[in-house]
Amino acid sequence: MNRKEQIDKLSNEKKFDIIIIGSGATGLGCAVDAASRGYKTLLLEKYDFAKGTSSRTTKLVHGGVRYLAQGNIRLVREALLERGRLLQNAPHVCHTLSFVVPCYKWWQKWYYGIGLWVYEFLSGKLSLGKTKLLSKKEVLQHLPDLSVNNLTGGVLYFDGQFDDSRLAVNLAKTAIEQGAVVVNYCGVTGFIKEANIITGVKAKDEISGNEFEIKAKAVINATGVFADALLQLAEGHSEKTIAPSQGIHLVIEKHFFKGNAGMMIPKTDDGRVLFAIPWHDKLLLGTTDTPVENITTEPKPLQEEIDFIIRHFNRYTISEIHYKDIKSVFVGLRPLAKVSNKKKTAVMPRDYLIKVLPSGLVHVTGGKFTTYRSMAEHTIDKAIQTAGLKISFCKTKHLKIHGWTDNKIDTHLSIYGADASAIKQMMEKDISLSEKIHSCFPFTKAEVKWVIQNEMAITIEDVLARRIRLLFLDAKAAMEAAPLVTTKLASLTGNNLQWEQQQLEAFNKLAKGYLLN
């Protein structure tokens, strides 16, 4: 995957069947779907792949236990089927994880147990494992650092876990392999219209400053929380279709809560679920649900959100965490479809919305990363119908995502799937590439080189936030690794010292936003 090649294709083509705007889970899913059906497809992303919400999830491939409690069986069933498909199609970035719900009242074990049996039942043949009631002793075998005061037992169930932005990069690669043109750092700045109907887009290459006018039979707006800004460009009105809701996550050392299972707290003070999940040898705690007005690429955590998570975690564990223990805090904005009579975003539906606007723009929003594939299928069906494209049916249910492998790789390189062997070979050829970029993490110089040369990483942030997840795991360590990464980036891309310094400054400023102290 090479950006120059993609830009050259874009410059030569200038006419596509389908243009997709935005490369989060939704847009990438649409690109894979459209290209694999044989349509000439272009995906344009203003920043980097998954720069928005799609790198800031709780890392669950799930049906959503909470939506079951809300009685939304259809949504849960669809998500559970998609969970099963994703684990089959991308086993290198997704895997099964066991979860324990600790119970502190006698009736809770049965109440949650029955709910989680239904949850498992709904996944049918794609079940990831049997839900089980646990004794107090068994709960502590899974979660040894759980507070034992009044603990009566628990429920064990299984769900999926993934690396969101790694999956996004693999989806971008899959789309290209299926014939799509995919360009990051190329934002849509306007629409081309004939008789008030959209016939293409205007776009700007954020690196070179070059501008393009590109024609298409169908244009899809998959820009997540930014969708209303695009709607305004397309339709000229300022109607709000999105009610953004912020969710934060705290990352702490694994030793605060040992064990291999995740913990699900089924009811927090505001009626949400809260997770403590092992992720890349750290522990991820989250999330919150706070309605926000301001839409930005780098949303900031609120102090009450941080306190909320710390307070709940400490209530359930024998260890106690404080601000100083937080290695990284990251924040995402949910692109929830606005429901006019609901103020509290926690109760708004997590379903997705696909509609065609008077300009012919196909607008898709909402949903979850887990359901990206089915959302994409329905969106492309709608685009075909709207633009009168020759019908071709969806092919993604069993389409293997780039990196798919059935080889067991027992190092941290397993996340690269089939590409891991190429990275290993790089290290064998040049031993200096096996040096680590930070003494406390396994990530190597070879991976930095790989992601720059093969995964369209353009900035230090692309490398250290979304290809290698160091910024999300430990922001201070990411700042310490940044100078080395910048030098590598500059030498591979032929940039000068001044560029290096600008990059480093920009990254350090960004990374400070992931630190609490």
Ligand X SMILES: Cc1cc2nc3c(=O)[nH]c(=O)nc-3n(C[C@H](O)[C@H](O)[C@H](O)COP(=O)(O)OP(=O)(O)OC[C@H]3O[C@@H](n4cnc5c(N)ncnc54)[C@H](O)[C@@H]3O)c2cc1C
Taking the least distance from each CB to ligand X, the nearer of 264 and 481 is 264
Taking the least distance from each CB to ligand X, the nearer of 357 and 418 is 357
- In whole angstroms, how close is the CB of 235 to ligand X at the nearest point? 15
- In whole angstroms, how close is the CB of 157 to ligand X at the nearest point? 15
- Pick from 30, 90, 50: nearest CA to 352: 30
- In whole angstroms, how close is the CB of 369 to ligand X at the nearest point? 4
Taking the least distance from each CB to ligand X, the nearer of 397 and 422 is 397
Q: Which residue is nearest to ligand X (CB)?
A: 24
Taking the least distance from each CB to ligand X, the nearer of 249 and 438 is 249
Taking the least distance from each CB to ligand X, the nearer of 342 and 436 is 342
- In whole angstroms, how close is the CB of 23 to ligand X at the nearest point? 5
The amino acid present at 497, given as its one-letter code, is: L
- Which tokens in the block code for residue 299? 């949303």
In DSSP notation, 277-316 reads: EEETTEEEEE---EE-S---SS----HHHHHHHHHHHHHH
Taking the least distance from each CB to ligand X, the nearer of 108 and 165 is 165
- In whole angstroms, how close is the CB of 384 to ligand X at the nearest point? 20
Beta bridge partners of 276: 263, 285
Q: Which residues are near ligand X by CB under 6 A? A: 21-27, 44-47, 50-54, 56-60, 62, 187-188, 222-226, 230, 247, 287, 332-335, 367-370
Taking the least distance from each CB to ligand X, the nearer of 369 and 443 is 369
Interior angle at CA 502, CA 496 and CA 505, nearest 5:
140
- In whole angstroms, how close is the CB of 62 to ligand X at the nearest point? 6
No. of H helices and E strands in the chain?
16, 18
- In whole angstroms, how close is the CB of 286 to ligand X at the nearest point? 7
- Which tokens in the block code for residue 234? 């397309």
State the Cα–Cα distance between residues 250 and 239, nearest whole angstrom. Answer: 34
- Pick from 169, 182, 207: nearest CA to 467: 169
State the Cα–Cα distance between residues 160 and 169, nearest whole angstrom. Answer: 19
Phi, psi of 309 (to 5 degrees): -70, -45
